[in-house]
Structure 1
Amino acid sequence: MRNEDRSLRKKAYEEINKYQKIVESDPHRQDYHLMPPVGLMNDPNGLIHWQGKYHVFFQWMPFKTGHGAKFWGHYTSRDLIHWIWEPIALTPSEWYEQNGCYSGSAVNHGGKLYVFYTGNVKNEKNERETYQCSAVSEDGVHFEKKGVVIHLPEGYSAHFRDPKVWKHEDKWYMVIGAQTQGDLGCAVLYTSDDLMVWELKGEISSSKENDYLGYMWECPDLFQLDGVDVFMFSPQGLEPQGMLYNNVHQSGYVIGELEYDRTVLHHGPFREIDRGFEFYAPQTTLDEDGRRILIGWMGVPDQDEEKQPTRSYKWIHNMTIPRELRVKKGKIHQSPVEELKKMRRNLFEKEDIHIKDESMHLSELDGDVMEVFLKFGTTDSCNCFEIDLFDYVKLSYQNETKEITIRRKTFDNKSTETRSCQISSLETLQMFIDQSSIELFVNDGAEVFTFRIFPDKKNAAIHFSSSGSVTFDIWKWDLIGYTYQTSEEAMRDANMNP
């Protein structure tokens, strides 16, 4: 371990120890979402199921609640509920990454865990350099850096990052999010026989002036699911179009077929994968049970981060819950992973609830860490159905327009903001509610809204109301949350006694 690497690790662990009590005293600290021990968390990195464990690496700035020279933090779990904080995976200690070990991915090769990431460098004029780098581990915890494997090719700006690597037949492939010198977003494909020497194949897809899809494509992910190829990415630079593209930056996917020999992805239209306020940079992995698992960052870069109240407690942002993906009728559906049912306690259920032109409060639903599931009868006689959660956020369904809308207070409480989409009908709503977030799955995950909430903790009530008549069944469980422990290796790294 080089001296610079050792020094950075020591400083990061000192930040954890210094602010641990402050961080843990935050009433908005989550119960079942991965969070940074201190500082800022953003993109999930290197998501992989390897040797019986789920590994979640992530972008981490330990020294402040803003962005900067990122580390790779690291959690592992065998069941997606009990999590272990592992030693820091990567620090920005080398010349080719001195301004940050940016996002990337992980693969298994020859029984070893390989990670690929972007090394970010800025000179005294704030001009950017970018390098695609690799590191390898025999135990999944300690990594040996192999250095730069790809330099910036001609024709692209230095916004060239976030390598996602996978194997197809007998070759390795890497897709990188990029920006052309003409300021158009695109995805660039490389191939390799040994994970060290990479050959540029070309662009599989790109934003075009007559079909504009942003000036930069971040965090690409390409995988096969239910017989089709899915390309997921986060385009920057899309302007709002009605219900679409209302965050500062978006995340979504296209479905089609990648012709590997011709380096072209034939695909359909771009769809947002999450309709909420805070969702970005999702990454997926195929686990040993054959499931395609997704975890996303519950945040958006440059979008009101400075207004989030957790910053005064020395931390900001968290991950989504893990979700299983399926393709149904040409569209991705998302479901909370089955393991989360193990967190359920204290079931409350009530069938055939009927309200008409009235408001209703069920005291059994009061709380702040729970799962709530609603199954609706016919809504033909209901003009509008609304759920008021904690006097902070309102969920409404307009039957005439088939629109579902989330309306919440802004983080500074000075106004309200909305996100909406259209659905064919209202069938089911599943809400995962934590101390400061809601993940809403509509119609068994055909649409999903992910967002943070910071209500007055004295108000734990949920109210239902309708204009017209609506009938539904309801199930509610309290959730016990994740359990955390620090690995012995991490404690030794932090000079603590295990």
Structure 2
Amino acid sequence: MSKDQQLRLEANQHAAKQKSIVEQDPYRLHYHVMPPVGLLNDPNGFIQWRGTYHLFYQWMPFKTGHGSKFWGHYSTQDFVHWKQEEIALAPSQWYEKNGCYSGSAIEHEGKLYIFYTGNVKDDDGNRESYQCLAVSDDGIHFEKKGPVIERPEGYTAHFRDPKVWEQDGQYFMVIGAQTKELKGAVVLFRSRNLVDWTHAGILTGGGNGRIKEYGYMFECPDLFHLEGKDILVFSPQGLEPEGMKYQNVYQAGYVTGTFDSKTGTFKHGGFYELDQGFDFYAPQTTKDQQGRRILFAWMSVPDQNEQDNPTIKHHWLHNMTIPRELKCIGGKVYQVPVRELADLRVNEAVEHRIELKQKNQQFEGVHGKAVELLAEDIIVSKGWFDITVGEAARMVYSSEQKIFTLERQSYVDGVVEKRQCRLNDLKNLHIFVDTSSIEVFINDGEYVFSSRFYPSPNNESIQFGASEKSCFTLKKWDLTKIF
């Protein structure tokens, strides 16, 4: 038996052994992608190929900590019915022995090409990284081709997460990097055949330009064209909090500008966070056959009390966000749930025209652990308006300050913590609650808050309150499971 076969067998046997413990957890989600066991993090290789969406992910099957990652694999044709596929990559070769790290996928000559970072550490903990290629005829079984890029001069071994695309008759790759001066950077490569790559320099960061001082490492870059603009999404590490911004340990966001494929240059504006919640990192997008730009992200943040999550005792950790379609409106990226998620609804909408005044209220049929809420035509004439879910997460809008707040009870110490943004006005809220996760889309996706939270497993309450008079139209649906 080869080492690759042995690693796959051990991972599958461990998952089977732990299955009953994992499935007993009341915090298992209904309609989010989760690991069968162990730890899930970055989305990888997200692509629609031959009519099927493939979502690979960083997976540590043997524990709920980080380590020598595999690529797990799920597939779907409609974002509602998902299938767990065979392990795509196991860290079996010398150039990836300490992990098959994040990467991307592209179709070429009828085959599926995936690019990923091979992580290698020596006995003293010194790291090296290689950008590697694997090819598949069926989207399930991959033949490893080995490294196609070795680290150029000028960068530390924190050099990873290749994202590849085709443009103007050639292929491009962006890589997240750290310069020798310990500055975060996005690095650009070119190729004519996806095998032979040329280093084209730093695209942005690295101590120069508009975001020259944006942290010590940029992870998971993704450059794409959206409605007349070129958008670079990446995850900087090392930003200091600034008002309501940058409150998590690490961030995920974007800059908007113009990429010149001939010169390999990118002129862009300032950095904006994609998500204002507690748990959002390493987003990756793909353009599907309908022309939509769709995003998945990891619903957590590295080094942010991961091991305090209560799912640990059931031997699993983390999940993806729901899939979101991106739109560019006025130069700003909006996110909306993909329309297919309406097929998760298992009942007709419960509808209410709600008027609140100075007391907390619950409404008939508006409760549950896996629900979708849509509040429209919101009028908060004075004071504040709030929604509390499971007595463990609270959304508050202050009409005087024009501030939206998401509060949750910390799973570390029980203290109430908050994330915030400032609005011009509150028009609508689209909320997805799933046992231990909440995603809030504000004003048609202008702002989004994504977070894990842990109510009492039997608490399905949803309460509404206001300090003065507030009114809105509410619709509520129960949502089914995707597996």
TM-score range, shorter chain: over 0.9
State the Cα deviation string for residues 35-92 of structure 1 (Å, max 9, x = none): 1111000000000000010000000000000000000000111111111111110010
Q: Which moved more, 1:88-97 or 1:341-350?
A: 341-350
Aligned amino acid, residue 477 of structure 2:
W
Find the residue that maps to 1:391 and give its secondary structure. Answer: coil
Q: Quote the residue 1:305 is aligned against.
A: 306
Q: Which runs of 4+ in 1 moved over 4 A?
A: none
Pairing 1:365-404 to 2, within 5 Å after superposition: 365-379=366-380, 381-404=381-404
The 1:455–1:351 alpha-carbon spacing in structure 2 relative to 1, beyond 3 Å, is: closer
How many Å apart are 1:350 and its aligned residue? 3.3
Q: Which moved more, 1:254-263 or 1:10-19?
A: 254-263
Find the residue that maps to 1:21 and give its secondary structure. Answer: helix
Q: Quote the residue 2:323 is aligned against.
A: 322
Pairing 1:220-299 to 2, within 5 Å after superposition: 220-299=221-300
Contact preservation (8 Å) 2:351, 2:476:
no
State the Cα deviation string for residues 122-181 of structure 1 (Å, max 9, x = none): 111111001000000001110000001000100000000000000002100000000000
Aligned amino acid, residue 385 of structure 2:
F
Partners of 2:233 and 2:384 lie apart in 1 by: 34
Partners of 1:309 and 1:185 lie apart in 2 by: 33
Q: Quote the residue 1:489 is aligned against.
A: none
Q: Quote the residue 1:494 is aligned against.
A: none
How many Å apart are 1:207 and its aligned residue? 4.7
Partners of 2:433 and 2:396 lie apart in 1 by: 17
Partners of 1:390 and 1:244 lie apart in 2 by: 27
Q: Quote the residue 2:84 is aligned against.
A: 85
Partners of 1:378 and 1:404 lie apart in 2 by: 14
Find the residue that maps to 1:18 and give its secondary structure. Answer: helix
Q: Quote the residue 1:490 is aligned against.
A: none
Partners of 1:274 and 1:117 lie apart in 2 by: 25
Partners of 1:336 and 1:386 lie apart in 2 by: 22
Q: Quote the residue 1:446 is aligned against.
A: 446
How many Å apart are 1:211 and its aligned residue? 4.5
Contact preservation (8 Å) 1:363, 1:461:
no
Partners of 1:100 and 1:49 lie apart in 2 by: 25
State the Cα deviation string for residues 414-466 of structure 1 (Å, max 9, x = none): 31211000111010001111011001100111000000011102221111111
How many Å apart are 1:247 and its aligned residue? 0.6
**Aligned residue pairs: how many?**
481
Q: Quote the residue 2:24 is aligned against.
A: 25
Q: Quote the residue 2:197 is aligned against.
A: 198
Partners of 1:107 and 1:243 lie apart in 2 by: 37
Pairing 1:210-221 to 2, within 5 Å after superposition: 211-221=212-222
After TM superposition, the score normalised by the length of structure 1 is: 0.95
Q: Quote the residue 1:466 is aligned against.
A: 466
Contact preservation (8 Å) 2:233, 2:254:
yes
Find the residue that maps to 2:249 and give its secondary structure. Answer: coil
Find the residue that maps to 1:300 and give its secondary structure. Answer: coil
Partners of 2:219 and 2:457 lie apart in 1 by: 36
Q: Are 2:100 and 1:101 aligned? A: yes
Aligned amino acid, residue 171 of structure 2:
W
How many Å apart are 1:412 and its aligned residue? 2.9
Contact preservation (8 Å) 2:118, 2:129:
yes
Partners of 1:292 and 1:102 lie apart in 2 by: 23
Aligned amino acid, residue 11 of structure 2:
A
Aligned amino acid, residue 308 of structure 2:
K
State the Cα deviation string for residues 242-268 of structure 1 (Å, max 9, x = none): 100011110000010011222221111
Partners of 2:427 and 2:388 lie apart in 1 by: 19
Partners of 2:206 and 2:394 lie apart in 1 by: 36
Alignment gaps of 5+ in structure 2: none
Partners of 1:323 and 1:237 lie apart in 2 by: 27
Find the residue that maps to 1:19 and give its secondary structure. Answer: helix
Partners of 1:208 and 1:374 lie apart in 2 by: 44
Q: Which moved more, 1:408-417 or 1:119-128?
A: 408-417
Q: Quote the residue 2:149 is aligned against.
A: 150
Partners of 1:20 and 1:382 lie apart in 2 by: 51
After TM superposition, the score normalised by the length of structure 2 is: 0.98
State the Cα deviation string for residues 260-312 of structure 1 (Å, max 9, x = none): 22222111110000111011000000001111010000111110111001110
Find the residue that maps to 1:15 and give its secondary structure. Answer: helix
Contact preservation (8 Å) 2:295, 2:325:
yes
Partners of 1:13 and 1:349 lie apart in 2 by: 42
Contact preservation (8 Å) 2:378, 2:428:
no
Q: Quote the residue 1:493 is aligned against.
A: none
Q: Quote the residue 1:119 is aligned against.
A: 118
Partners of 2:16 and 2:363 lie apart in 1 by: 42
Partners of 1:328 and 1:395 lie apart in 2 by: 25
Partners of 2:330 and 2:468 lie apart in 1 by: 32
Alignment gaps of 5+ in structure 1: 484-498
Find the residue that maps to 1:269 and give its secondary structure. Answer: coil
Identity across matched positions, percent: 50
How many Å apart are 1:391 and its aligned residue? 1.0
Aligned amino acid, residue 396 of structure 2:
S
Partners of 2:7 and 2:360 lie apart in 1 by: 55
How many Å apart are 1:359 and its aligned residue? 1.8
Find the residue that maps to 2:290 and give its secondary structure. Answer: coil
Q: Quote the residue 1:177 is aligned against.
A: 176
Contact preservation (8 Å) 1:41, 1:318:
yes
Find the residue that maps to 1:124 and give its secondary structure. Answer: coil
How many Å apart are 1:183 and its aligned residue? 0.5
Contact preservation (8 Å) 2:168, 2:261:
no
How many Å apart are 1:481 and its aligned residue? 2.1
The 1:392–1:413 alpha-carbon spacing in structure 2 relative to 1, beyond 3 Å, is: farther
Q: Quote the residue 1:456 is aligned against.
A: 456
How many Å apart are 1:358 and its aligned residue? 2.1
The 1:372–1:459 alpha-carbon spacing in structure 2 relative to 1, beyond 3 Å, is: same
How many Å apart are 1:413 and its aligned residue? 4.2
